[in-house]
Amino acid sequence: MDLETIRVFIMTRGIDFGTKVVGAIVLWVIGRWVIGFVTGLLRKMLSRNSRVDPTLAHYLSSILGALLNLVLVLAILQVFGVQTTSFAALLAGLGLAIGTAWGGLLAHFAAGVFMQVLRPFKVGDFVTAGGVTGTVQELGLFGTTIVTPDNVTTIVGNNTIFSGTISNFSVLPVRRVELTAKVANGVDVRDAMERLRAAVVRIPSVVESPGPDIEVLSFTPEGPLLCVRPYTHNSTYWQVYFDTNRAIIDTFREAGYPTPETPLARRQV
């Protein structure tokens, strides 16, 4: 190969190749800067949320950075004229397989994002969500941590919560306690109701408005069944629940009411 051939090659092909190299370098530098800016912005946004673990924030930003770097490499190969159609199709198939395998996790992530925006409950609320009842301890991107009344930490997938019914007992200022009391046949029901009402309103943490509901709920062979429903704040629900049960026992004992008995028990006596 003589010098003239080399000169002709450089003049015809070298300039074009050099232009592509310079373009690839410029594209790489700018692309890397953009990727660093985007991933850094995502990391900062997640770190500002105290409920997002720093490890998780770094993990998500790393995934985004890897995907963007892959797109950048494909763009540079395209500059050099490399056909990336088959390579892109292979990556698309691989991405589809991974997406299918991780479909459940991605569903929990999407539900977590919607829950962060819509806020059906917050940390500290007492809820029934995903079939679990308890106090919300943490709202994560993939799962929500709920501590049940028997002090068990339970993690429920966000998609399970978001696709079901959510009952938030902490939104309204007061909550009704549901109890019943049975009186024996022959007992003056009105007298029993007045005695119970007077006893229930004296229970600490029972609110004055709305007042307790004490009415005849149904009738049984042993005697009328009364509903006893005081109202209280959610934080004192269980205290009022147990105090009301004790008030029912003490009131009926002080009034001298007989214990309700079934017709079969009376016949046996």
In this prediction, residue 218 has a pLDDT band, given cuts at 50, 70 and 90, of very high
pLDDT for residue 268 = 47
φ, ψ (nearest 5 deg) of residue 35 = -65, -45
Q: Does the pLDDT at position 231 exceed 90?
A: yes
Q: What is the mean pLDDT of the chain?
A: 81
pLDDT in tens, 66-93: 778 877 787 777 766 666 565 656 566 6
In this prediction, residue 45 has a pLDDT band, given cuts at 50, 70 and 90, of confident
Residues 44, 37, 59, 93: what is their CA dihedral angle, to the nearest 10 degrees? 140
pLDDT for residue 237 = 92
User: What residues contact residue 196 under an 8 Å CB cut-off, 6+ apart?
Assistant: 181, 214, 226, 228, 247, 248, 251
Q: Copy the structure tokens of residue 143.
A: 């799962």
Average pLDDT over residues 30-38: 84
Average pLDDT over residues 187-210: 93
| 154 contacts 146 by C-beta, under 8 angstroms | yes
Query: What does the buried/exposed string (b/e) look like for 106-144 if buried means 16 or more CB atoms within 10 Å of the residue's CB?
Result: ebbbebbeebeeeebbeeebbbebbebebbbeebbbbbb
pLDDT for residue 269 = 45
Higher pLDDT, 177 or 83: 177
Average pLDDT over residues 180-194: 92
Average pLDDT over residues 109-119: 78
How much is the pTM?
Answer: 0.59
